Structure 1
Amino acid sequence: MTQEQPSNGKRPVRFHSVAAVAEILGTSEVTLYRAIRAGEFPAIKIRGRYVIPSRALDDLEETAVSTGSVVDPAELAGHRERA
């Protein structure tokens, strides 16, 4: 699969830092790190650094918009512990 090049000629952003995604989502970095480490939020770990695929954010957004409901990434991944 190939991604289309934006009209400005730059490559699309494929990965985001935890800090950038925390800002996008309006949450703290600590909260996002906790969710990642608990397997409740998709991320890629390269040595000690986590990055989040843009596609993961796009998929979460698309699911929320198409279903018109709250999306919990942990439930989508099947990793959330049931109480």
Structure 2
Amino acid sequence: MDRRRFLTVSQAAELLGVSAMTIYRAIDAGEFPAIRTRGRISILAKAIDLMEEAALVQNALVDSAQYVAQPLEAGCAEVPDPFGRRGISAS
């Protein structure tokens, strides 16, 4: 069975063992990566996978706020990489 690329807030909350309200508050505070489409919020399953992988590789606490994309500065063609590696091209 194919894994979903996007999760609802409730699905992400269940997966992480927190309440949906905790996820909504983190999104509103800019501390959790999400996509809003016409008022509907979707969570990228890959973002959760990356956070999980980082916690395992680093054997340390990972803060979801590190994974929130920063706005691109004028003339900047790279997206910051949460792992501290060279940025990912946005073009």
Question: Paired residue for 1:60?
Answer: 51
Unaligned 5+ runs, structure 2:
71-91
Q: What is the RMSD of the two structures over their aligned residues, measured on CA atoms?
A: 1.6
Shift of 1:78: 8.0
CA distance in 2, matches of 1:78, 1:29: 21
1:8-23 mapped onto 2 (5 Å cutoff): 10-23=1-14
Q: Match of 1:45, SS?
A: strand
Question: Paired residue for 1:44?
Answer: 35
CA contact (8 A) 2:32 2:67 kept: no
CA distance in 2, matches of 1:66, 1:75: 16
What do residues 26-71 of structure 1 show as CA deviations (whole Å, max 9, x unaligned)?
1011111000111100000011110001110110000000000010
1:11/1:75 Cα in 2 relative to 1: closer, same or farther (>3 Å)? closer
CA contact (8 A) 2:9 2:20 kept: yes
Greater relative CO (CA pairs within 8 A, separation 6+):
1
Unaligned 5+ runs, structure 1:
1-9
% identical aligned pairs? 46
Runs of 4+ in 1 over 3 A off after TM superposition: 75-79
Going by fraction, where is helix more abundant, 1 or 2?
Answer: 1
